[in-house]
Structure 1
Amino acid sequence: MSAPINLAAVRVTLGSQNFYIPASQVGRCALVTSIVSEIPRFSRWLGIADEPQEGRHLHLCVPDSGVETGWYLWGQLENVLLSSETIFAVPPLLARHCHLPALRALVGREAFSPLLSWR
């Protein structure tokens, strides 16, 4: 049996929802000091309900996403290591009907969270 492989990732927490992005794809994240109307909300870009205004108001940039302005979000970011034992392929039925951008895998053991990747 081979040893698990770890993936360095950033866990984005929006309210009670978690999303993971490979750390190598996150360009930067900063506290929002002023609002620019051209910068979209991460939740709206994902096509989900807006997150509650909890945690920090952040400006997240992921260059590979093609969203040059990045996104605003209310939440938390945390660097984590994901074991290959907790990363699962998206089931074909879900993959056919899910419109979540950049969904590449699911992370978890009992409850699953999306792993988003643009590579």
Structure 2
Amino acid sequence: MKGYLYLSISIVAEIIGTMFLKLSEGFTVLAPSIIVVVGYGLAFFCLGKTLAYLPLSLAYAIWSGVGTAVTAVLGILLFEDPLNIGMVLGIILIIGGVVLLNASSKTEVETLKEK
């Protein structure tokens, strides 16, 4: 459970960092640039802590997949990024992949516990 808490914090921090990366205008605006550095710093710190509890393959897949999907949606909603069927399908596939990896990992952990 602790691993998923660290992972959640890491994902939120990475998403915030990425949103402010857009607002930093190439690191020319100070306040958003500071938030980018702090956001990514916290994201990687918490991702590192996550790896004490979860396998790398699972943690990184969830981190990158959820981060990518949420960032894409927020880009569409907040920055008027274009939306097309390819993007929708891609987001659905990312979420599906994360769900499958998570389900597969839980099955393997249960198998290991039985031994």
Q: TM-score range by the shorter chain?
A: under 0.3
TM-score (norm 2): 0.20
Question: Per residue, is there more helix in 1 or in 2?
Answer: 2
Question: Per residue, is there more strand in 1 or in 2?
Answer: 1
